[in-house]
Amino acid sequence: MNVDELTRAYATWIETIGRFVPDVGEFLVGACGFLTEHGLPLERVSTHIKVVHPRTMSVWRVWQRDQPLEVRRPVRGAEMTPAFLRSPVKKVWETGLWIDVPIRPGEEDRWAIVTDLRAQGFTHYTIGPIVFSNRQVHASSFATRQPGGFTPDQMELLRRFITKSTPVIETLALRNGIDNLLETYLGHETAQLLAQGQVTLGEGTQRRAALWYSDLRGFTQLTEGAPLEEVVQILNVYFGLAGAAADRHDGEIVQFIGDAILMFFAVNEAGGDAEACRRALMAATEARTELGRWNEARRATRDREIAFGLGLDLGNIIHVNVGGGNRQAFNIVGPAVNRAARIQELTKTLDRPLLMSSDFADALGEGTLSLGNHPVRGINLPIEVVEPSAALLASLPALPQD
């Protein structure tokens, strides 16, 4: 096929197959497969797409022949590192111009990526702009081991590849970006519910779950006496440690409520109540372990330390869309949610860092110590509260230290 024929064939592939894939990575794999099957000597192709995300600066996907797709997510701040400041990606992002580098023996390399490719036997590297409809510039690179590098016709095909691919890449990047933002701000399950169209007020999913409700100690005093920047830093440490522990054990944060955290650990058929409660307890002990390490470092510099109380319960909940007017949100509702919050309040009066309901303790089995029945706000009868024994906590897997 000549350049025009292959361009038309590629456009047909996009129309019939490429535009239906779920993400940029799968599109890149399919597109590279199509082009190599039609004789283009591609050995390495990458896309470098900027994203709107609180932690990630961009997503870099690297396709190499006969290898799995590699996905990199440089964190925010990476754009200031020496490696990125000297990269061709930054240059293309800034100028919107192509960079073309035939890799010839004996020449000095301007770009670190070219030095790496030279060592791997590549003969040509080129990178060009992907310009979205809002004129934001992204990038895609191509490399080959073909003797003499890409021919002029092949270079023209690469330029047309970007032109034809840009509308699909933009659509997929936007879709993937929205999915990632929804998951970051709402949680994995809530994001999935929204993606599936569960937007009707009052519509929800019923399930059984272990509940976590935690509250930062002395937060009111902290907000009155500390600079706001320090308050936010401390909140983010506390939220971050709890969130990371939840992620490791399939927990779902529902809300940050001031200085409190509400999350659940769904019961699944395979593990039942016991497995969900054990995951919640492991997340709790890991968060406390990590906080202890953070406090130890703060103690050495005589900075403010923090602690939190935690209530755990087990029961049936509904994960439901609530709200009114133009403002809605997903929340969880059920007696166990209220009990977990009230049990957390008892950690203050009983001077215990972690307490659980008798239902939660029964699901765990052995290794818990009853502290008796106690009246709690909003519940007619006293409830039994339990704490984990030292033996039970010692039996949990240790959190590795960095």
pLDDT at position 398: 74
In the chain, what are the domain boundaries? 3-186, 189-395
In residues, how long is the chain? 402
CATH topology of domain 189-395: Alpha-Beta Plaits (3.30.70)
Distance from C-alpha of 161 to C-alpha of 13, rounded to nearest angstrom = 12
HEC letters along the chain = CCHHHHHHHHHHHHHHCHHHCCCHHHHHHHHHHHHHHCCCCCCEEEEEEECCCCCECEEEEEEECCCCCEEECCECCHHHCHHHHCCHHHHHHHHCCCEEEECCCCCCCCCHHHHHHHHCCCCEEEEEEEECCCCCEEEEEEEECCCCCCCHHHHHHHHHHHHHHHHHHHHHHHHHHHHHHHHHHHCHHHHHHHHCCCCCCCCEEEEEEEEEEEEECCHHHHHHHCCHHHHHHHHHHHHHHHHHHHHHCCCEEEEEECCEEEEEEECCCCCHHHHHHHHHHHHHHHHHHHHHHHHHHHHHCCCCCCCEEEEEEEEEEEEEEEEECCEEEEEEECHHHHHHHHHHHHHHHCCCCEEEEHHHHHHHCCCEEEEEEECCCCCCCCEEEEEECHHHHHHCCCCCCC
Contact status, residue 65 vs residue 43, Cβ threshold 8 Å: yes
**Cα angle vertex 282, ends 230, 389, to 5°?**
105
- The strand pairing partners of 386, in sequence order, are 356, 370
Residue 30: the pLDDT is: 96
The residue among 284, 283, 277, 280 whose CA lies nearest residue 364 is 277
Residue found under tokens 């399939």: 250
Q: Which of 347, 348, 344, 317 is nearest to 333 (CA)?
A: 317
Residue 333 half-sphere exposure toward CB, CA atoms < 13 A: 12
The whole-number pLDDT of residue 7 equals 95
Model confidence, pTM: 0.77
- CA 111, distance to chain mean position in Å, is 31
Distance from C-alpha of 375 to C-alpha of 381, rounded to nearest angstrom:
7
pLDDT number for residue 33: 96
Mean pLDDT by 10 residues, the chain (402 residues): 91 96 95 95 96 89 95 86 88 96 87 92 96 96 96 95 96 89 85 82 90 92 84 91 93 93 94 94 94 88 87 95 86 94 94 95 92 90 92 81 58
Distance CA(159)–CA(163), nearest Å, equals 6
Calculate Rg over the CA atoms of the chain.
27
Is residue 336 within 8 Å of 314, Cβ to Cβ?
Answer: yes
Q: 3-186 belongs to which homologous superfamily? A: GAF domain (3.30.450.40)
**pLDDT (0 to 100) of residue 194:** 83
Contacts of 136 (CB under 8 A, 6+ apart): 50
Q: How far apart are CA 274 and CA 364, in angstroms?
A: 5
